[in-house]
Every structure is written in C-alpha cells, then in structure tokens.
Amino acid sequence: MAVNDAERDAMSRALALAAHGPRGLNPQVGAVILSPTGETLSEGWHHGAGTPHAEVDALSKLAPGEAAGATAVVTLEPCNHTGRTGPCSQALIDAGVARVIYALDDPGVASSGGSDRMRAAGLDVVAGLESDAAHTLIADWLSVQRLGRPHVTVKWAQSLDGRAAASDGTSQWITGPVARADVHARRAQADAIVVGTGTVLADDPALTARDGDALLAHQPIPVVIGSRATPADAAVHRHPLAPIFYDTHDLNAVLADLRERGVQRVFVEGGPTLASAFLAAGLADAVLAYIAPVLLGGGRLALADIGVGTIADARRLTVDEWIPLGEDLLAVARVTSESEGS
C-alpha cells in the first residue's frame, strides 16, 4: 500500500474529525482533501442523517475546480448509492479528484461499490489505511449492519445459587457497591436501557447512569416493554431523556424501531422474564452476570425458561473475562452461535 507521510497524517486527522459526528443511523466518517503536493485543502465530517456525507462536506468548502488532481482521504469507502444524499464516489469523480485513500470497506449491500466505480473512472484507489482504528471508531455501527438490529447485552445480578431475588421479591441489593458502580459505567456506554413493566412496578428504577448521586455525561434512553401501565409518578418519568414505552411482546419489532431511532447498543436490565425472552428469541449477543457470594434459595431464579429442554440444547457462552468487583464476580460473556459451537 503506497501511501506517503502526508496521507497518513491526513487519515489520522480524518479519524479525529469523524469522532465529531453523532452516533446513529449513519456511521461517523471524516474526510480530508489534499492538494497534489500534500497540503490540506479542506476537511469535513458527517454531521448526521440527511446531511452531506464527509466527502461532500469537505468538497463543498472548495471552489469549483479546486479539487482537480487532489487526493481524498476518507475513513470509510465512499458510498455508491443515492439515498437522502447522492453517491459520494460520483461526487469525487465529478470534482476531478485523482486519488482516494480510505480505511474500511462499506459493508452495506446498497451503498458499497464506490471503490469499483472510482477505479472504473480512472481514479487511483487505496484501501485499508488505519483500518483497525477506523473499525474501532464505528464498531457499534458495523455490528448493527452485520446483525440487522442493535447489539443486545443482557445483564442480571444473582446470588451464588442463581436467584435474582429473595422469596418475598426483594432484590436490593444482592451485589455490593463496587459491582453496582460497574453497572452504572456500563449503562453509560449504551444507547438504550431496557426493562419490563414488572421491574418498573416492583423496583421503580430510575434507569439512569450515575456516579454516586451525580448523573454521568451520557445517559441511555429508558425503554419499558410490557402491557401493564407505568404509574405517572414512576421514577422513569424523571429520567433526563423521554422514556419509550412498547405495549408489545414482539422483541424484533422493538429492536427494529430502536434501530430506526439510531440506537446501536441496547442494555437489557431485567427482570428475569424479559432477560429470558431475549435469550429465548436468540436476540442476546452478550451477557453480563454479576454473581454475589450469598445464598437465597427459593424459586426466584435469575432466568426463566429460555427454551432449553435437554442439555444438548444448552445455550453456550464464551466467557471473555472474569472480573472481581469487591466481593462479587462479573462474568463477561458472548452468546455462542450454533455454528461457532459445532
């Protein structure tokens, strides 16, 4: 891959620009236009759905003909389709750009192919520069493209004997303060936090991400699934973001709607009925199991029926980490597909 220092610096700059863009329906993308001698002519990034893509944003800052013979350095393959905006690959061709360097191939069926179009038009196209950094930047968006829905993490806290609550239904607190702080930090990494109406009625959770009593900078959208009404004075109504309520048991429909809203990472907090429903439907990608060294007995299990009738049908997990949290232990695991387990 023949690239020079100016082009490498431009890609680093493009990645930094991309991070200014919002997470959502579209990927975060940055672009830098270099003159034939390596000076920066313009910069751009994608400002959100319906706005010009990064390449067009950068080109719009140049006078007609100023991009002739230039090099465009972009964090994602220029698109090849017409949606709310036109194809960026054609915009670069029309602007007279001679060379395009990008980090990652576009995974979209409709939007990919920009590199082929540009090569066919005679442009020099180089792919793969800083691909790892670009992948890290938009990993969540790429996951959504691969799955066709948001990435789903199912979390629960349990006693050593697998219970989520005592016989009278009380569950605060099974785990200690270090584990609870870890949960809040992970909530802040999600776009939406999902519970069932049963949890809202039993625990009245705020569904915020906090450091002690202080709200963290990023808050997940609170989502409540179920047909029972949420009381008007429930804590979820005081969340900084307006809660979303779904009067349905169709989890695929819920995830499809959340995707349309730009949600990429979903954090399912409970309770056992909802967690089990996501696992049974094959809609869980990761599991966070917080295990406390206490015994509760009784029948209030952390999970209900997930469709496992025999040991051969067990849902296999790949544990990536075992993390001690005070006296508690966190299992960070991926749900293993049948193809991976076979």
Q: Which residues carry out catalysis?
A: 55
The token pair at 190 is 């999600």
Is-contact 226 328, C-beta < 8 A? no
H, E, C per residue of 226-268: CCCCCCCCCHHHHCCCCCEEECCCCHHHHHHHHHHCCCCEEEE
Q: Which residue has the tokens 């069932």?
A: 196
Q: Tally the C-alpha atoms within 13 A of residue 340's C-alpha that lie toward its C-beta.
A: 8
Give the burial string for 63-100 (b: 16+ CB within 10 Å, else e). eeebbeebbbbbbbbbbbbeeebebbbbbbbebebebb
Q: Tally the C-alpha atoms within 13 A of residue 159's C-alpha that lie toward its C-beta.
A: 18
- The residue type found at 331 is A
CA–CA separation, 318 and 331 (whole Å): 10
Give the burial string for 258-268 (b: 16+ CB within 10 Å, else e). bbeebbbbbbb
Distance of alpha carbon 186 from the chain centroid: 12
Distance of alpha carbon 213 from the chain centroid: 26
Cα dihedral 227/228/231/237 (nearest 10): -30
- Determine the 3-state secondary structure of 208 from DSSP: coil
CA–CA separation, 126 and 121 (whole Å): 14
The token pair at 99 is 């060379």
